[in-house]
Amino acid sequence: MLDYKQTIISQYANSPVLLQIIANYNSYFDPQSNLNNFYSNIWNVETAQGIGLDIWGRIVGVSRVLNVAAENYLGFYGVTTNPTTPFNVGPLYAGGAVTSNYALTDSQFRTLIYAKALANIWDGSTPGLNKILLTLFPENPGYVVVSSPLNIVLTFPTALTNVQAAIIGTSGVIPVPAGVGVTVTS
């Protein structure tokens, strides 16, 4: 504090021991650096790190850890949580683990937090959903095609990675109206 003596009430203003304790405390402790660290590492989403981003993830409703498909297996199209491959390409499922936990880096998680914040205030429009997809995947921007009143198609120029497919399928960041199906194509 610049002038700590203004904070002492009058009944203690003439106590030399108390004044010395407060003077020493004031010289040893600078709350400004702690406030700056709190603001940079937790409060400000753009600069938050580690636990600060985890707190923001809880606020907007998204987790840093995703279940990512470990390997593509022979299956059907349209499954977003476990990408599948066609006949004569993908192996048959042998009973092993199909998913593994993947912790997003701070940069990836920050992007997911921004996209979830956009999803939380989404107005239900196709341009709004396109903005969320652009925020999530700026290097592989997808777009929305409404194929029927009860189905939307998310189309991407290149194939999605397993992490990107997990973000779309399991993170809950893509808002979809009730009763509407989602198909992902590339």
pLDDT of residue 70: 61
pLDDT, greater one: 95 or 184: 184
pLDDT of residue 79: 47
**Integer Cα distance of 105 and 64 in angstroms:** 8
| Mean pLDDT calculated for residue range 5-21 | 87
| Mean pLDDT calculated for residue range 118-144 | 89
pLDDT, greater one: 8 or 86: 8
Share of the chain above pLDDT 70, in %: 83
CB half-sphere exposure, 145, CA atoms < 13 A: 10
Single pTM value for the model: 0.69
pLDDT of residue 149: 80
pLDDT of residue 78: 47
Q: Is the Cβ–Cβ distance between 183 and 165 less than 8 Å? A: no
pLDDT tens-digit readout, 52-79:
999 999 999 999 998 876 666 555 544 4
| Mean pLDDT calculated for residue range 148-168 | 87
- How sure is the predictor about 98, in pLDDT bands with cuts at 50, 70 and 90? low
Q: Is the Cβ–Cβ distance between 120 and 144 less than 8 Å? A: no
pLDDT of residue 185: 87
> What's the mean per-residue pLDDT of the chain?
83
φ, ψ dihedrals at 144, nearest 5°: -100, 135
Q: Is the Cβ–Cβ distance between 57 and 64 less than 8 Å? A: yes
pLDDT of residue 109: 93
The beta-strand segments (E) located in the chain are 65-69, 73-74, 84-85, 99-103, 143-148, 151-155, 181-185
